[in-house]
Amino acid sequence: MEVDFCVVDCAVNLTSFFTIVNGEGLKYVENGRAQFYGLIVFGAVLGLVIV
């Protein structure tokens, strides 16, 4: 019973941790400026071409 509780509790805590970290990271990336989004798309395409 304790192992199952720990596994489920750890999985939920890990999911919430990744959600918080991703949200904090996206807070700085998503600023509503179209030029910035274009730069990100250009960088992604350039990275794919290089690879």
pLDDT at 22: 87
Per-residue pLDDT tens digits of the chain, which is 51 residues long = 577 778 888 888 999 999 998 888 777 777 777 888 888 899 999 999 998
C-alpha to C-alpha distance for 44 and 50, rounded to whole angstroms: 10
Count how many Cα atoms sit within 13 Å of the Cα of residue 12 in the half-sphere of its side chain.
6
* Backbone φ, ψ for residue 31 (5° rounding): -110, 0
Amino acid at 50: I
- For the chain, the domains span 2-50
pTM to 2 decimals? 0.49
Q: What are the structure tokens assigned to 46, written together?
A: 């350039």
C-alpha to C-alpha distance for 7 and 27, rounded to whole angstroms: 30
